[in-house]
Amino acid sequence: MLYPFKFVPILKTLVWGGEGIAPYKGIETDQKNIGESWELSGVKGNESVVLNGPLKGKTIAELVREYKGELVGKHVYGNTGDEFPLLIKFIDALTDLSIQVHPNDELAAVRHNGSKGKTEMWYVVSAAPGAHLYAGLSKEITPGEYASRVADGSITDVLARHEVHAGDVFFLPAGRIHAICGGCFIAEIQQTSDITYRLYDYGRLGLDGKPRQLHTELAKDAIDYKVYDNYRTEYVPEKDDEVELVSCPYFTTSVYDLTLPYARDLSEIDSFMVVMCLEGAGSLEVDGESLEIRRGETVLIPASADDLCMIPDGSMKLLTSFVPAP
Q: Which residues contact 269 (CB under 8 A, 6 or more apart)?
A: 73, 303, 322, 324, 325
Does pLDDT of 38 surpass 90?
yes
For 34, half-sphere exposure in the C-beta direction (CA atoms, 13 angstrom radius) is 22
Q: Which long-range contacts (CB under 8 A, 24 or more apart) does 51-54 make?
A: 51/5, 51/6, 51/7, 51/8, 52/5, 52/6, 52/291, 53/3, 53/5
Tell me the whole-structure pTM to 2 decimals: 0.97
Give the pLDDT confidence of 111-131 residue by residue, as tens digits. Answer: 998 889 999 999 999 999 999
Give the pLDDT confidence of 199-211 residue by residue, as tens digits. Answer: 999 988 788 888 8
Average pLDDT of the residues of the chain: 96
Residue 55: left (phi > 0), alpha (psi -120 to 50), or beta? alpha
Q: What angle do CA 159, 173, 160 make, to 5 degrees?
A: 15
> What average pLDDT does the segment 84-92 reach?
98
Distance CA 237, CA 235 (A): 6
Distance CA 58, CA 114 (A): 26
Give the pLDDT confidence of 204-234 residue by residue, as tens digits. Answer: 878 888 888 899 999 999 999 999 999 999 9
Closest CA to 267 of 63, 76, 73: 73
Does pLDDT of 53 surpass 90?
yes
Does pLDDT of 71 surpass 90?
yes
Distance CA 124, CA 184 (A): 7
At residue 245, the pLDDT reads 98
At residue 201, the pLDDT reads 92
Contact assessment for residue 301 and residue 284, using Cβ atoms and an 8 Å cutoff = yes
Closest CA to 6 of 307, 287, 300: 300
Closest CA to 118 of 188, 54, 38, 217: 188
Q: Which residues contact 23 (CB under 8 A, 6 or more apart)?
A: none
Residue 86 pLDDT class (50, 70, 90 cuts): very high
Percent of the chain with pLDDT over 70: 100
Percent of the chain with pLDDT over 90: 93
At residue 233, the pLDDT reads 98
Give the dihedral of Cα atoms 288, 24, 43, 135; nearest 10 deg: 110
Q: What is the DSSP letter of 249?
A: S
At residue 58, the pLDDT reads 98
Does pLDDT of 1 surpass 80?
no
Does pLDDT of 21 surpass 90?
yes
Catalogue all structural domains in the chain, each as residue range(s) with its CATH number: 5-220 (2.60.120.10), 242-322 (2.60.120.10)
> What average pLDDT does the segment 72-92 reach?
97
Distances, alpha carbon 149 to alpha carbons 143, 145, 146, in Å = 10, 6, 5
Contact assessment for residue 303 and residue 70, using Cβ atoms and an 8 Å cutoff = yes
Q: What angle do CA 259, 72, 92 make, to 5 degrees?
A: 55
At residue 76, the pLDDT reads 98
> What average pLDDT does the segment 265-278 reach?
97
Does pLDDT of 180 surpass 90?
yes
Beta bridge partners, 37, equal 11, 90
Give the pLDDT confidence of 140-174 residue by residue, as tens digits. Answer: 999 999 999 999 999 999 999 999 999 999 999 99
> What average pLDDT does the segment 271-282 reach?
98
Q: Which amino acid is at 230?
A: N
Based on C-alpha coordinates, what's the Rg of the chain?
19
At residue 185, the pLDDT reads 98
Q: Which residues contact 148 (CB under 8 A, 6 or more apart)?
A: none
Distances, alpha carbon 98 to alpha carbons 58, 156, 168, 182, in Å = 34, 11, 21, 11
At residue 52, the pLDDT reads 96
At residue 153, the pLDDT reads 92
